[in-house]
Structure 1
């Protein structure tokens, strides 16, 4: 069987392929936006789940929790500086979020996308930070931006 394409047939085929391409691109973009943030944690740590709830609510985004890898390995692969280590590490749209970083600072990072920054960190587990709310007690802490450009204060609380 032979197929013959006339000028009109070729134009329709191209239009159909172009439309399909746009639909496919839109689907891929939506899938990328809908993909969950991935948080790695130690199964014995309780504050990590509270912080994940904070992120789910604050960013209106799904957080997938993984407990299947040694945390030291996760942090080393993610490039978390030794002085900024905390209890959990999350991957968000190509960035690393270490510790109890407030959701609003993650949103700011994703909006601004500053040059030379690969992630944000709150070192340790300061009382009053998201997931570490204990009886109204609050310790001052800083959110540190880190990456090839070095480290700098991204935000300070309170």
Structure 2
């Protein structure tokens, strides 16, 4: 928090929902997923490894969750997370979540649509992967590229 007074830095951390001395990666967040999804659990484990503290909520159907958090149907994936007021849909890399929280754009959140091979939680036994994008979700169903992988 270079350039801020100690009071300003503490206020900025409070706005971001962080305690002093904690990093953005140490943020707690909620992940909504269905009970039997193994790739969702793999993504949650990777987020834990990156220092995040996910709280999992098992739901029967994600449609209501996506509707509540304004995730367009064409970007739906197998789990929906919410962190510091942003939605994180699908197999988004931890570094993209970190960038989102650091940049704090005026947006609904970020998404990796579908289940691309090689995305976090979607690793393939043979190491193969497909190129994918993380999209920034904007009001009115608009979106733009946030990161390429």
Q: TM over 0.5: same fold?
A: yes
Pairing partner for 1:47 from 39, 44, 47: 39
Inter-partner Cα distance in structure 2 for 1:46 and 1:102: 17
Identify which of 135, 141, 147 aligns with 2:138.
147
> What corresponds to 2:110 in structure 1?
120
Which runs of 5 or more structure 2 residues have no equivalent in the other structure? 1-6, 20-26
Question: What RMSD, in angstroms, separates the aligned Cα atoms of the two structures?
Answer: 2.1
Report the equivalent of 2:71.
80
Instruction: Give the distance between the partners of 1:68 and 1:134, measured in 2 at CA.
Output: 26
| Aligned-partner Cα distance in 1 for 2:84–2:33 | 18
Aligned equivalents of 1:83, 1:48: Cα separation in 2:
19
Q: Secondary structure at the match of 1:38?
A: strand
More helix by share: 1
CA distance in 1, matches of 2:133, 2:74: 13
Aligned pairs, how many? 129
Shift in Å, 1:69? 5.1
In structure 2, C-alpha distance between the alignment counterparts of 1:69 and 1:90, rounded to whole Å: 15
The alignment partner of 2:18 has SS state of: helix
Match of 1:92 in 2: 83
